[in-house]
Amino acid sequence: MQAIGGKEAVKRVTSYKMKGTFQISKLSEPGTLEVWGKDPHKTLTVLQFPRVGTLRKGFDGENYWVQTPLGTVSDSSPQEISELERDAQIYSADTIKSLYESMKLDRKARLSGRDVYLVEGTPAKGPAETLFFDVENGLLVRWDMARRHPKRGNVFVKVHFNDYKEVEGVKVPFSFRFAFESFDLFIRLDELQHNVEIDDAIFKKP
């Protein structure tokens, strides 16, 4: 909490809007993304895939939903709900602890030439996950997550956080790499605004 700016600075952020680009290692063209978030726990992510279309996923405070480029809308299972919650927390390091039933300091290690603390978190559903915090500055630099795939069981992804920038007193990573088993997803934020006016209607299931 202190590393990203302190409790009071984080509390002042009640909504945000992000814009950026993403690149999938298996695709030659980048796509665009927009993310909206609003207390309490409302989120909407819109991904525009080149040559494919738009994927939207959101939570309106009560219901999680996903709308595919084909237009179909589905509710999420309990496992998917917990995963979506962890996705949203990528941008809110102050509430990571609430995602797990228990957390424990595992050990120190080296990551990309820097000393890190390895912290193991055990969620209510799914296997334990590992978070890597920079020893020197306290920032989250990697998060080894587990995702549930209907045909392949647990799928693990390593999320790397880079290029932290201070926005209105809160440090936020502007660069991410999601390392899946068979491909990488790179995200780069171009714009981030805090405390913007957001109509609750955009979070509703289509």
Question: pTM of the entire structure?
Answer: 0.82
3-state DSSP of 53-72: EEEEEEECCCCEEEECCCCC
Taken in order of first residue, the domains within the chain and their CATH numbers are 7-203 (2.50.20.10)
Please state the φ and ψ torsions of residue 126, each to the nearest 5 degrees. 95, 175
pLDDT by position in tens, the chain (length 206): 889 998 888 889 999 999 999 998 877 889 999 999 998 889 999 999 888 899 899 988 888 888 888 777 777 655 555 555 555 555 556 578 778 899 999 899 999 999 999 999 998 888 899 999 999 999 999 999 887 666 666 778 899 999 999 999 999 999 999 898 888 989 999 999 999 999 999 999 88
CB 116, CB 132: distance < 8 Å = yes
Residue linked to tokens 């709900």: 81
